[in-house]
């Protein structure tokens, strides 16, 4: 079985191992554009498409957040349907610097499945793209529970001694966006760590030493990352993985859950990393 070189792979590596891994397109857009339509217009050959809303999340609600984790049996069924067996190496990609693909990477990482994100996304892909839907054979998968040490609840975030990072834009962190945020501000004490700041101008992850400096406050303390709904926070977690930061967790409910609870305190304004 092909061994992934790490949590991130280059387009060159993927081109050489395209037949040895299952490639998953997880393009998704907050503005309502269709990720499925983007996939059908052209994708990396052999890639399947998974929907963040319907397949990589559970039922959305103010109490659970916009993208809560699906039940383990639902996740197993989704992966099995597209032919991803228990030990199949997976490479996920998007067209947003890995900020969407990292959600699938984090979920698979929790399950002990070999997984990586394509550095630079589909824009980095130099080969041909395909409009053909791949012929996949469904498989049966073991149902594996989520590991609680990789995820944090709202109560655990409130009580944690780890560094808490908010992956939303600096503006949303400070003041919120009334179009999508239940309330302005951020979790008290959280540091602003916009997911875009993990990327260079080519939308690839910054070098390891730069990422390690960005997240130096978490070195030895651990970290919890959140965003608006538990998706783009996973790019912060991917960056910390590359940087060698240990003991990290995703607050999947994120701001969409926290701010919907009027009993949870909020903080506005700017706080540095």
**Residues labelled as active-site residues:** 227
Helix boundaries (H) for 177-260? 208-214, 233-243, 254-258
Q: What are phi and psi of 272, to 5 degrees?
A: -75, 165
Strand partners, 223: 163, 248
The tokens 């960056």 sit on which residue? 239
Q: How far is CA 134 from CA 9, 12, 125, in A?
A: 22, 21, 18
**Distance between CA atoms of residues 21 and 17, nearest Å:** 7
Other beta carbons within 10 Å of 63 = 10
CA distances from 217 to 31, 224, 272 (A): 33, 12, 11
Cα(182)–Cα(194) distance, rounded to whole angstroms? Answer: 19
- Which DSSP state fits 199? B
Quick check: helix, strand or coil at residue 24? strand
Q: What angle, rounded to 10 degrees, do the helices at 101-110 and 233-243 form? A: 60
**Residues in the chain, how many?**
273
Element (H, E) at 25: strand 22-25
**Contact between 187 and 266 (Cβ < 8 Å):** yes
């Amino acid at each position: 079985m092909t061994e992934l070189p790490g949590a991130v792979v280059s387009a060159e590596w993927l081109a050489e191992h395209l037949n040895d891994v299952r490639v998953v397109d997880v393009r998704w857009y907050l503005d309502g554009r269709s990720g499925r339509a983007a996939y059908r217009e052209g994708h990396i050959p052999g890639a399947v498409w998974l929907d963040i809303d319907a397949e990589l999340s559970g039922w959305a609600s103010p109490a659970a957040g916009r993208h809560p984790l699906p039940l383990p049996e639902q996740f197993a069924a989704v992966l099995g349907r597209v032919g991803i067996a228990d030990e199949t190496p997976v490479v996920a990609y998007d067209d947003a610097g890995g900020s969407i693909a990292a959600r699938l990477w984090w979920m698979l990482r929790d399950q002990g499945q070999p997984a990586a994100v394509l550095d630079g996304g589909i824009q980095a892909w130099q080969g041909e793209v395909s409009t053909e839907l791949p012929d996949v054979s469904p498989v049966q998968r073991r149902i594996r529970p989520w590991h609680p040490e990789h995820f944090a609840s709202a109560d655990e975030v409130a009580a944690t001694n780890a560094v808490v990072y908010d992956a939303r834009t600096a503006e949303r962190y400070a003041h919120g966006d009334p179009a999508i945020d239940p309330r302005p501000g951020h979790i008290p004490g959280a540091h602003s760590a916009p997911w875009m700041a993990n990327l260079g101008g080519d939308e690839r992850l910054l070098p390891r030493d730069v990422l390690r400096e960005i997240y130096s406050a978490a070195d030895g303390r651990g970290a919890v990352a959140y965003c608006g709904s538990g998706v783009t926070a996973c790019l912060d977690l991917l960056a910390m993985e590359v940087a060698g930061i240990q003991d990290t967790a995703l607050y999947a409910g994120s701001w969409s859950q926290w701010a919907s609870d009027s009993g949870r305190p909020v903080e506005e304004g700017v706080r540095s990393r």
